[in-house]
């Protein structure tokens, strides 16, 4: 905008000198009113004034806007300083945590040194134990030699015993034939005695039934006789009463009534005698009944004895059948045994079987040692798996925390970038207005400089945040790579565990097969001396296996120590990275 200024007033007479006054020569000068000449200039001045005031108002408004923006920027600065203070406090807390972690590391190192010393002491003790076990091995080798000598003597004794067994077997066969003949004779006799006993039992049953029927009839007759006796006694008592009542009239009666009385008395006497006879018969019947009951009891006892003998006979027959079945089974077993045609081949077969048992026991000892080794490796693999899973969880948690921090930083970046864009726009608008407002430039220059310094500070902070973001992303990528490696190692460990479990199952199946092969005969250590020698061999194998297992444990302890040192170094690196990020 161009400001219009009014022209200066001109004098009419230019020849007059400066020192002379216009009225010195006393001439008349016509006065011209300046209104006609200054009409355009006044309007222009008014227009310039209005434009100037409008520009002033806009400049004031812009100043107010800039002041408000300055206040907001100051608030942002205060907030950023507070955040900086927070980050500084956080940094100090992280440094304290670092120092605490260093102290923990120092304590862990001390613990590790203590454990190393313990492991060294254990190693020395194990070496001593190994030397003791070697001495025991030498002793056991001597014992084994003695056992071999004893085994040779035992074989000689076994040969003599086998000969005696053959003689005993022949004697047993002879006794068996004799017993078989006696058994057949006893069977015939038992059959005859059974038929006799059955016939006698039937007779006794018939007699018992008849005796029972007679006893029932006698009981009925006894009941009738008892009733008659009771009636007779009742009549006797009635007659005695009558006689006692008739004593007085008999004295008064005449001789014509005596014969009738005598007849009545004779009749009563006859009746009494008849009743006495019946009572004596009843008594004799009762005695006969008691004798019959005693005979019945004796016959029942005979019957029970015969039944017991029959049961014994049946048991003898069952035992005979069992012996016959055992004989047949032994014969079939002898026929089923390969390379055995006669009794002389059996001891040879037993010697071969003993050798096979010794070999199978050795295989069982080896498989047991392999099983123990596999179990130890399984346990170590499980421990490594658990450790790897824990590390994976920790790495995932760290990755989640880092991703959250990255998101926060991205949000802060976006907000700061928006503020930067706004500030840039404001600066551009200010630079445009600088050409129009030269008077207000001096006041706004300081504001623009402050804003530019703030912009530079914000850009510097943005660059720092971007560098932190890049570092965080690199750390997250590294952690993802480490997680992938850990997952791969986990998968490898799981495959190893599965393969070890398969080998374990296979070895267990082999052991069960060998035990089933051994279980076909009685090969216990109490019965044979050869298996005691085998047990001593198994003990030697177990001692060797324990030495190998202890050495493996020492190697594993050393590997654990190395892994712990590596983990401590990684933890220190991670803490330093976190401190740099914060």
Tell me the pLDDT tens digit for each residue of 403-457: 777 777 777 767 767 776 776 676 677 666 655 555 544 555 665 666 667 667 7
Least confident stretch, 337-341, 392-396, 406-410, 529-533:
529-533
Mean pLDDT rounded to a whole number for the chain: 70
pLDDT at residue 40, rounded to an integer: 52
> What is the spatial distance between Cα 131 and Cα 547, in angstroms, rounded to a whole number?
10
Q: Residue 158: how many CB atoms within 10 A of its CB?
A: 19
| Helix, strand, coil distribution of the chain in percent, nearest 5 | 90, 0, 10
- pLDDT tens per residue across span 346-368: 677 777 777 777 777 777 777 77
Residue 288 CA, distance from chain mean position: 85
pLDDT at residue 478, rounded to an integer: 77
pLDDT at residue 537, rounded to an integer: 44
DSSP letters along 365-423, please?
HHHHHHHHHHHHHHHHHHHHHHHHHHHHHHHHHHHHHHHHHHHHHHHHHHHHHHHHHHH
> Pick the residue with more confidence: 476 or 227?
227
Least confident stretch, 375-379, 463-467, 519-523:
519-523
What separation in angstroms does the CA of 168 have from each of 164, 319, 341, 495?
6, 22, 19, 62
Q: Which tokens go with 490?
A: 């986990």
Q: Which tokens go with 571?
A: 């933890």
pLDDT confidence bin for 233, thresholds 50/70/90:
confident
Most confident listed range (62-76, 126-140, 475-489): 62-76
For the chain, report the end-to-end CA distance as a whole number of angstroms.
53
Q: Please check the confidence at residue 16 and state whether its pLDDT lies above 60.
A: no
Residue 554: phi, psi to the nearest 5?
-60, -45
Q: Residue 365: how many CB atoms within 10 A of its CB?
A: 20
> What is the spatial distance between Cα 69 and Cα 75, in angstroms, rounded to a whole number?
10
| pLDDT, mean of residues 337-341 | 67
SS3 280: helix
Q: Please check the confidence at residue 476 and state whether its pLDDT lies above 50.
A: yes
Q: Please check the confidence at residue 311 and state whether its pLDDT lies above 60.
A: yes
Q: Which tokens go with 401?
A: 């925390």
Percent pLDDT > 70 in the chain is 66
pLDDT confidence bin for 19, thresholds 50/70/90:
very low
Between helix 530-581 and helix 39-245 the angle, nearest 10°, is 150
Short-list 209, 217, 210, 226, CA closest to 283: 226
SS3 344: coil
pLDDT confidence bin for 536, thresholds 50/70/90:
very low
Q: Kindly tell me the number of DSSP H helices and DSSP E strands found in the chain.
A: 7, 0
Most confident listed range (33-37, 304-308, 420-424, 504-508): 304-308
| pLDDT, mean of residues 102-118 | 79
Percent pLDDT > 90 in the chain is 0
pLDDT at residue 185, rounded to an integer: 79
pLDDT at residue 87, rounded to an integer: 78
Instruction: Give the HSE-up count for residue 47: Cα atoms under 13 Å, Cβ half-sphere.
Output: 12
pLDDT confidence bin for 2, thresholds 50/70/90:
very low
Q: Please check the confidence at residue 198 and state whether its pLDDT lies above 50.
A: yes
Torsion of CA 99, 104, 106, 111, to 10 degrees: 180
Residues with Cβ < 8 Å from 87, sequence gap 6 or more?
582
Q: Please check the confidence at residue 76 and state whether its pLDDT lies above 80.
A: yes
What separation in angstroms does the CA of 270 have from each of 242, 263, 264, 274, 549?
19, 11, 10, 6, 121
Q: What is the DSSP letter of 25?
A: S
Burial of 86-105, coded b for 16+ CB within 10 Å and e otherwise, reads eeeeeeeebeeeeeebeeeb
Residue 434 CA, distance from chain mean position: 81
pLDDT at residue 532, rounded to an integer: 38
pLDDT at residue 581, rounded to an integer: 46
Q: Please check the confidence at residue 380 and state whether its pLDDT lies above 70.
A: yes
What separation in angstroms does the CA of 489 have from each of 380, 388, 486, 555?
14, 8, 5, 20
pLDDT at residue 246, rounded to an integer: 58
pLDDT confidence bin for 280, thresholds 50/70/90:
confident
DSSP letters along 220-242, please?
HHHHHHHHHHHHHHHHHHHHHHH
pLDDT at residue 442, rounded to an integer: 55
Contact 66, 444 (CB under 8 A): yes
> What is the spatial distance between Cα 470 and Cα 156, in angstroms, rounded to a whole number?
89
Q: Please check the confidence at residue 490 and state whether its pLDDT lies above 80.
A: no
Instruction: Give the HSE-up count for residue 392: Cα atoms under 13 Å, Cβ half-sphere.
Output: 15
């Amino acid at each position: 905008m161009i400001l219009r200024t009014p022209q200066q007033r001109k004098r009419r007479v230019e020849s007059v000198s400066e020192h002379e006054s216009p009225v010195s020569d006393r001439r008349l000068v016509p006065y011209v009113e300046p209104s006609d000449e200054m009409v355009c200039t006044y309007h222009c001045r008014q227009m310039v004034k209005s434009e100037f005031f409008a520009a002033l108002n806009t400049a004031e408004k812009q100043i107010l806007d800039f002041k408000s923006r300055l206040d907001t920027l100051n608030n942002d600065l205060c907030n950023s300083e507070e955040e900086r203070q927070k980050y500084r406090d956080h940094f100090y807390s992280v440094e304290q945590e670092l120092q605490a972690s260093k102290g923990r590391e120092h304590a862990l190192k001390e613990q590790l040194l203590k454990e190393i010393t313990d492991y060294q002491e254990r190693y020395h003790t194990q070496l001593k134990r190994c030397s003791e076990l070697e001495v025991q091995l030498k002793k056991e080798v001597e014992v084994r030699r003695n056992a071999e000598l004893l085994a040779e003597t035992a074989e000689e004794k076994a040969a003599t015993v086998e000969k005696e067994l053959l003689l005993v077997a022949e004697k047993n066969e002879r006794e068996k034939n004799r017993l078989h003949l006696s058994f057949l004779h006893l069977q015939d006799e038992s059959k005859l005695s059974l038929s006799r006993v059955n016939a006698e039992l039937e007779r006794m049953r018939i007699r018992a039934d008849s005796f029972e029927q007679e006893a029932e009839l006698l009981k009925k007759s006894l009941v009738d006789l008892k009733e008659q006796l009771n009636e007779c006694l009742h009549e006797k008592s009635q007659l005695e009463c009558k006689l006692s009542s008739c004593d007085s009239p008999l004295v008064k009666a005449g001789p014509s009534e005596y014969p009738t009385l005598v007849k009545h008395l004779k009749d009563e006497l006859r009746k009494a005698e008849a009743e006495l006879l019946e009572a004596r018969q009843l008594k004799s019947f009762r005695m006969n009944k008691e004798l019959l009951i005693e005979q019945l009891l004796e016959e029942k006892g005979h019957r029970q004895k015969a039944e017991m003998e029959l049961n014994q006979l049946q048991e003898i027959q069952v035992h005979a059948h069992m012996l016959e079945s055992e004989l047949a089974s032994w014969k079939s077993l002898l026929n089923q045994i390969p390379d055995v045609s006669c009794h002389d081949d059996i001891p040879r077969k037993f010697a071969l079987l003993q050798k096979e048992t010794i070999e199978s026991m050795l295989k069982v000892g080896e498989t047991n040692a392999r099983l123990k080794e596999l179990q130890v490796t399984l346990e170590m693999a499980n421990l490594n798996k658990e450790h790897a899973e824990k590390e994976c969880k920790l790495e995932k948690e760290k990755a989640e925390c880092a991703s959250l921090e990255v998101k926060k930083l991205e949000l802060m970046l976006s907000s700061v970038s928006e503020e930067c864009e706004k500030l840039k726009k404001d600066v551009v608008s200010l630079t445009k207005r600088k050409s129009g407002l030269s008077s207000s430039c001096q006041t706004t220059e300081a504001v623009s400089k402050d804003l530019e310094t703030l912009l530079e500070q914000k850009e510097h902070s943005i660059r720092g945040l971007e560098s932190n973001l890049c570092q965080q992303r690199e750390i997250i990528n590294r952690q993802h790579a480490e997680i992938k490696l850990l997952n791969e190692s986990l998968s490898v460990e799981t495959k190893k565990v599965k393969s070890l479990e398969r080998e374990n199952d296979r070895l267990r199946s082999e052991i069960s097969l060998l035990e089933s092969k051994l279980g076909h005969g009685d090969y216990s250590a109490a019965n044979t001396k050869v298996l005691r020698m085998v047990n001593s061999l198994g003990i030697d194998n177990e001692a060797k296996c324990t030495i190998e297992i202890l050495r493996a444990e020492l190697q594993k302890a050393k590997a654990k120590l190395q892994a712990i040192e590596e983990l401590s170094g990684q933890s220190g690196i991670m803490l330093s990275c976190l401190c740099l990020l914060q």
